[in-house]
C-alpha cells in the first residue's frame, strides 16, 4: 500500500525540509537531527502511517537495537545490586525498543583477546557496555573496529584509564563526596575509635583506601584505622553475608566493642547492628555504623539506624540507558558520572545522654 501522506507534507507539518524528514527517519542519519525535532518528526510520521523509502527498505524506521553488556565473573557481577541494576536497564531499554544482551567474557589475561575475537563472531551489537575487566587496550581496540559506540564502566569518577582513546565513552560512579560527608559527622573525640568491619575482599580494600584518603584530605587523624575482616576473599552471596558476619562476631566481639564508629558494607552492617543492640548498646550513643549500600524501587528501604553511603541503582540505570540511547543516534564519545549519596541515621528516641 502506498503512503497516503508524503514526506513533503510531513515536512510542512514539522516546519522542516523534506531532507530533514528523510534523515530523521533513517537510523543511519537520525543522529544528525536534534533529539527534540527527531522525536517530533517520528511521532508525526507514525501518526500518519508514513515511512520513508529508507525505512521501508529496512522494514521499519523504528529499528530494534542490540545492546551488549559484557561481563566477566557473572557470579560476582550479578549480586550486591548488580541484578537489580540489570533489571532496571532491561525495563528502560525494552520500553524503547532495545534488546539488552548479557555476554560472558573470560577476563583472564591469557584468554581475553581470543575470547573477544570469538565473541565478536556471534554478531554485531549497536552499543557495547564494558566492565572494568576489559580495561586492556588491545581488547578495546578490537571492539572499536566493530563499533564506535563503546561505554566503559568505571567504579571511580572520571580518571580516564585510556586518555588516548578519544573514541571511548565512559560511565563512572563517584563515592568521594559521600565519604567526606560521612566522615565530617564523626566528632573529633571518636576519630581514633573508628574501625572497618567487613568481608576480606578486593572491594573492601578499595573502600578502606578511599576512607583513609578522604579522611586525610579533611585533616582527620584516624590513627592506624584498624580493620576487622572475615572470610578468605572468596565470594559471599548476600543471602549468606549476614549469617557469616554474625558467626564471626560471636568469636571476635571483644576486638570490636572498644570502638565507637564502624564502617561496614551491606549485610555485615546489619549483623553488627543487631549484635551491638542485643548486647545492650544504644545506637547513636554507644555506637554509630556507616555502611555502603544501594537503593532502588525494587528493594526494601535502607535501615534508619545506620548512616548510609549509597548508590541509587535506578538513577544509575537511567543515566547509563540515556547515554546508550544517545550513542545509537550520535556516536560522539560521552563521559558521564553518577554520584553516590549520603544520608545520616535517624536514631529518634533511641538517642539518650550526651
Residues whose CB falls within 8 Å of the CB of residue 290, separated by 6 or more in sequence, listed in order: 182, 261, 262, 263, 264, 306, 307, 308, 309
> How many Å apart are CA 294 and CA 73, to the nearest integer?
20
Closest to 165 in 3D by CA, of 211, 118, 130: 130
> How many Å apart are CA 101 and CA 144, to the nearest integer?
18
Give the residues of the chain that fall short of pLDDT 70.
Answer: 1-3, 27-32, 35, 52-64, 73-80, 106-109, 112-113, 116-124, 132-137, 146, 156-160, 348-354
The reported pTM is 0.76
Per-residue pLDDT of 169-226, as tens digits, reads: 999 989 999 999 999 999 999 999 999 999 888 888 889 999 999 999 999 999 889 9
> How many Å apart are CA 194 and CA 188, to the nearest integer?
11
Amino acid at each position: 500500500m502506498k503512503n497516503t501522506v508524503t514526506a513533503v507534507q510531513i515536512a510542512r507539518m514539522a516546519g522542516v525540509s523534506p531532507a530533514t524528514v528523510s534523515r530523521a527517519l533513517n537510523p543511519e542519519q537520525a543522529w544528525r537531527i536534534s533529539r527534540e525535532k527527531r522525536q517530533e518528526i517520528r511521532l508525526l510520521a507514525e501518526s500518519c502511517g508514513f515511512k520513508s523509502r529508507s525505512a521501508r527498505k529496512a522494514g521499519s524506521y523504528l529499528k530494534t537495537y542490540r545492546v551488549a553488556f559484557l561481563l566477566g565473573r557473572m557470579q560476582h557481577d550479578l549480586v550486591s545490586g548488580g541484578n537489580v541494576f540489570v533489571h532496571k536497564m532491561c525495563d528502560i531499554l525494552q520500553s524503547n525498543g532495545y534488546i539488552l544482551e548479557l555476554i560472558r567474557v573470560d577476563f583472564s589475561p591469557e584468554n581475553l583477546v581470543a575470547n573477544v575475537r570469538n565473541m565478536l563472531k556471534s554478531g554485531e551489537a549497536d552499543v557495547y557496555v564494558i566492565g572494568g575487566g576489559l580495561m586492556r587496550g588491545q581488547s578495546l581496540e578490537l571492539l572499536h573496529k566493530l563499533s564506535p559506540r563503546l561505554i566503559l564502566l568505571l567504579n571511580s569518577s572520571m580518571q580516564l584509564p585510556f586518555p588516548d582513546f578519544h573514541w571511548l565513552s565512559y560511565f563512572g560512579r563517584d563515592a568521594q563526596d559521600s565519604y567526606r560527608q560521612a566522615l565530617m559527622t564523626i566528632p573529633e573525640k571518636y576519630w581514633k575509635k573508628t574501625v572497618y568491619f567487613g568481608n576480606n575482599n578486593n572491594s573492601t580494600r578499595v573502600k578502606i583506601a578511599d576512607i583513609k584518603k578522604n579522611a586525610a584530605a579533611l585533616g582527620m587523624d584516624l590513627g592506624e584505622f584498624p580493620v576487622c575482616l572475615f572470610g578468605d576473599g572468596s565470594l559471599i552471596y548476600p543471602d549468606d553475608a549476614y549469617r557469616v558476619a554474625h558467626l564471626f562476631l560471636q568469636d571476635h566481639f571483644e576486638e570490636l566493642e572498644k570502638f565507637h564508629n564502624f564502617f561496614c558494607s551491606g549485610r555485615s552492617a546489619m549483623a553488627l547492628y543487631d549484635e551491638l543492640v542485643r548486647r545492650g548498646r544504644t545506637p547513636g550513643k554507644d555506637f554509630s555504623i556507616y555502611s555502603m549500600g544501594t537503593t532502588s524501587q525494587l528493594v526494601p528501604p535502607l535501615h534508619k539506624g545506620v548512616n548510609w553511603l549509597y548508590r541509587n541503582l535506578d538513577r544509575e540505570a537511567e543515566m547509563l540507558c540515556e547515554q546508550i540511547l544517545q550513542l545509537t543516534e550520535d556516536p560522539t564519545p560521552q563521559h558521564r558520572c553518577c554520584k553516590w549519596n549520603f544520608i545520616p541515621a535517624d536514631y529518634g528516641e533511641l538517642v539518650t545522654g550526651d
